[in-house]
Chains A and B, each alone.
Chain A
C-alpha cells in the first residue's frame, strides 16, 4: 500500500476506481483538476495497491467557519470511497490529522460507521427542503403509497415560477436582488448567525466561480431598499435549482432574497425543475415552507476530532447551506466537457 496526494498523472487510476464506486463527479477530469489542484485548501489523497490500482480515496477542504464572529477552521471530507476494506481508514485518519475538527455533511453509511465509532457529535435539524420535488419515499411505507405518490407527482408538478404568488411579492416588496458575476463577489461581515460558513473572497470566487464549464453558478446580491443585506449562490443545474451558498445579516431578509433568486433563475424554465435548499434556522424555514418548499429529509451533520469535542451552540441559530464542500457537485455536475 502507498498513500499519495493526487496529481493529474494519477487521473487514469482514479477514474477507474471512481467508476467502480459510482463517484460520478470524479469522472469529469476538468472538475477534479479544478477542485483538487487549483487551490491549497482542497486536496485529494489516494491509496494505491502494489499493482498501481487505486484502492481508496478521500478529498478534503479546509473551510473557514465563524462562531460568534471568531474564525473556526474545519476540515470537510469529500469523496471518501474505499474499494478495499481497511485502506480507507488510513486515508480517513490522514484527513483527521490534517485538521483540528472535521465535519461530515451527508456521506455514505461507511462514513457514518467511522463517525459513530469516533464519537463525533451529531447536530440534528439540518433539513433539506424541496420545491416541486419529485417524490419522497420513506422506509417502511407501503409500495402502493409510493406508487401513488409517483403518479400524483407526475401530474401535479409544475413550473417553479408558479410558486411566486402575489402574497409573496407583497410581503417581500422591500427586498430586491441583483445578479452579479463571481468576480464581483464580496462577503458579508456582520450577521446574526451564531455559526456559519464564512469564507474569504478568494475562496468564494474559486468555489462558486460563475464561469466554470462543468457547473453553472449564478450570484445574487440581496438588498433592502439600497442596503446590501446578503447574497446567495444558485447552482443552476439542468433538473435542479440548488441554493448552494448564502449569507446575510438577517434570516428573514436572507430567506426572501433566496426565494427571489430561485424564482429569477427559474423564470424562463421550460422544464419542471425542482428547487432544493438546506436550512436549520426556524425563521427561514417558516418563510421557505410558506412559499412552496416542503420538508424532504434531515441531512446528517457531524463534527468531531480525534481527541476533543466541539463546543457549539444550538443549530437553530446556525446558517447552513447545501453546497458545503462538494455537496452540490456530487451528482449535479455536467459531463459535457469530458
Chain B
C-alpha cells in the first residue's frame, strides 16, 4: 500500500470509525449512510490537514467517494512523489 493510500485510509477511519477497514475503499457519498454533511465537513478538514493542502471549492465535486478522492490526491503535484 502506498503512503498516500495509507494516509487516506487513516483519514476515512478517523471520520467513519464504524466502517470496517475492508469496506473503506468502497465508501461513497451515495451509498454510505454515515456520510452526512457533518462527515463531509470533517473529512475535507482532515484531508487538508493530513496532506497539508488547501482544497479549492471548485474541486469539491471530485470528493464524493474514497476512490475519487484518491484520484484527486494523486493528481495534485505535491502528492505525485507519494506513489500509488
Contact = CB atoms under 8 A, between A and B. Distances in A.
Interface of A: 1-3, 56, 82, 85-90, 92-94, 97-98, 110, 113-114, 117-118, 306
B40 A88 contact: yes
Interface stretch (B2-10, B17-25, B60-68, B74-82): B60-68
Contacts, number: 65
A85 B33 contact: yes
Contact of A94 (B42, B43, B57): B57
B35 to A, nearest CB: 5
B35 A93 contact: no
Contact of A117 (B32, B33, B41): B41
Nearest to A90: B60
Most buried by A among B29, B36, B37, B42: B37
B interface: dominant SS: helix
A94 B61 CA distance: 11
9 contacts: A1-B61, A3-B61, A86-B36, A86-B39, A87-B40, A88-B37, A90-B63, A93-B40, A114-B41
Given A1-B29, A1-B64, A89 B41 contact: yes
A82 B57 CA distance: 17
Contacts of B35: 85-86
B61 A110 contact: no
Contact of A86 (B29, B45, B57, B61): B29
B40 to A, nearest CB: 2
Given A2-B61, A88-B40, 8 more contacts: A1-B64, A56-B37, A85-B33, A86-B35, A89-B36, A89-B41, A92-B40, A94-B60
Given A85-B33, A87-B29, A90-B63, A3 B38 contact: no
A92 B38 CA distance: 9
